[in-house]
């Protein structure tokens, strides 16, 4: 909302992120087989799926940490498929990576400063992040390695926000956190959205994703199995898409584990 850079009137209708038929390999293994999605400004787009479905690979490919074998990624109408991750970041894509990935030898404030080094101009200042997470102000001089998982997640979100992104990529915010903490972290989402940020998130916790999303897509073994608005899909449909149809559970679980192992290596 804040930036309609080109001044095009139909900006609202054009997707901010347009992913077309993405195929991604981890070595020999095919992690994504032709996934497409369109995220419009102001949306909260949730990718759900079981462990190893290819969710994180999708998000990492969008951020530029993997390059796809085939397919296209358009950001703000521009083809960024082969653009370096740092260039995508300075163009307004910020990612909160899986496992937080803070800089452990830096203090909290220094982590934020790194996030702000190549920031675009916008509403997110250190003060605003400290308002969002009031405990941070007093502990900004501490190394983040000593902080709890939830606190680290908050710092990771803060580090992404101070870059003033147009598009925020959130990878498994709930991973390894107590449900109360997860609730609290997702409670910040409205405030983040009200600043004009568009959110694409990956979440294993389906109920959490359904609660916040305006649009969702379910992945299974690298394929899209369901897409739509949360209001338009039934719990049965989600369950079927999440686990796969029929009695392939055992085989599916095995394959998923394989992908997960490959994925964590890469």
Partner 1 sequence: MSWVNAIIQGILTGGLYALFACGLSLLFGVMRVVNLAHGDLATVAAYVGIGIIAVTHVPFLWSIPIVVAIMAVVGYVLQRSLLQAAITRGELTTLIVTFGLSIVIENGLLQFFTANNRGIGVGSSLISSSFSIGSGLQIAWLDVAIFGLAVVVLLGLQYFLSASKYGRLIRAVADDREAAQLSGANYQHVFGICAALAFATVALAGIAYGMTTVVSPTTGTDTILLFAFAAVVIGGLGSLWGTLVGGIVLGVSQQIGAQINISYELLAGYIVFLVVLVIRPQGLTARRSQT
Q: In a 3-state reduction of DSSP, which class is residue 46?
A: strand
Q: Which residue among 115, 122, 244, 263 contacts partner 1 (CB under 8 A)?
A: 115
DSSP state of 22: E
Q: Which residue among 4, 21, 67, 86 contacts partner 1 (CB under 8 A)?
A: 86
Query: Which tokens hold the place of 43?
Result: 């949306």
- Tell me if 54 sits within 8 A of 224, measured CB to CB: no
Query: What span, in angstroms and rounded, lies between the C-alpha atoms of 63 and 41?
Result: 17
Q: How far is the CB of 226 from partner 1 (least distance, A)?
A: 28
The alpha carbon dihedral of 71, 246, 202, 229 has a sign of: positive
User: Looking at beta carbons only, is 118 or 135 nearer to partner 1?
Assistant: 118
Q: Which stretch binds partner 1 (CB under 8 A): 78-86, 123-131, 187-195, 253-261?
A: 78-86
Confirm or reject binding of residue 106 to partner 1 (CB under 8 A). Answer: yes
**Residue 23 Rama label (left phi>0; alpha psi -120 to 50; beta):** beta
Q: In a 3-state reduction of DSSP, which class is residue 192?
A: helix
Alpha-carbon separation of residue 42 from 18, 21, 192, 230, 234 (angstroms):
14, 23, 10, 16, 24
Confirm or reject binding of residue 105 to partner 1 (CB under 8 A). Answer: yes
Q: Which residues contact 176 (CB under 8 A, 6 or more apart)?
A: 99, 149
Confirm or reject binding of residue 94 to partner 1 (CB under 8 A). Answer: yes
Q: How far is the CB of 111 from partner 1 (least distance, A)?
A: 8
User: Looking at beta carbons only, is 86 or 239 nearer to partner 1?
Assistant: 86
Task: Please give the size of the binding site for partner 1, defined by CB under 8 A.
Answer: 27
Q: How far is the CB of 89 from partner 1 (least distance, A)?
A: 4
Confirm or reject binding of residue 263 to partner 1 (CB under 8 A). Answer: no
Q: Which stretch binds partner 1 (CB under 8 A): 44-52, 156-164, 219-227, 258-266?
A: 156-164
Q: Which residue among 6, 118, 187, 251 contacts partner 1 (CB under 8 A)?
A: 118
Residues near partner 1 (CB under 8 A) are 63-65, 84-86, 89-90, 94-95, 97, 101-106, 110, 113-115, 117-119, 159-160, 163
């Amino acid at each position: 909302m804040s930036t309609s850079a080109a001044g095009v009137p139909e900006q609202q209708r054009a997707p901010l992120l347009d992913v077309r038929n993405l195929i991604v390999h981890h070595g020999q293994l095919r992690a994504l087989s032709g996934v497409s999605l369109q995220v419009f400004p102001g949306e909260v787009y949730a990718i759900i799926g079981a462990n190893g479905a290819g969710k994180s690979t999708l998000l990492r490919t969008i951020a530029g940490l993997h390059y796809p074998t085939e397919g296209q990624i358009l950001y703000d109408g521009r083809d960024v498929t082969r653009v370096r991750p740092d260039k995508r970041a300075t163009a307004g894509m910020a990612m909160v990576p899986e496992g937080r990935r803070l800089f452990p030898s830096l203090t909290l404030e220094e982590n934020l400063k790194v996030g702000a080094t190549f920031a675009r101009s916008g509403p997110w200042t250190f003060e605003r992040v400290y308002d969002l997470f009031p405990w941070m102000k007093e502990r900004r001089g501490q190394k983040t390695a000593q902080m709890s998982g939830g606190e680290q997640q908050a710092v990771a979100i803060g580090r992404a926000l101070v870059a003033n992104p147009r598009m925020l990529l959130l990878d498994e915010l709930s991973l390894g956190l107590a449900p109360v903490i997860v609730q609290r972290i997702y409670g910040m989402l409205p405030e983040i959205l009200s600043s004009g940020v568009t959110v694409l998130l990956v979440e294993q916790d389906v109920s959490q994703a359904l609660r916040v999303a305006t649009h969702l897509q379910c992945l299974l073994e690298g394929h899209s199995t369901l897409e739509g608005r949360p209001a338009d899909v039934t719990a049965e449909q989600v369950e079927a898409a999440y686990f796969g149809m029929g009695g392939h559970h055992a085989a599916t679980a095995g394959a998923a584990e394989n992908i997960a192992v490959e994925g964590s290596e890469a």
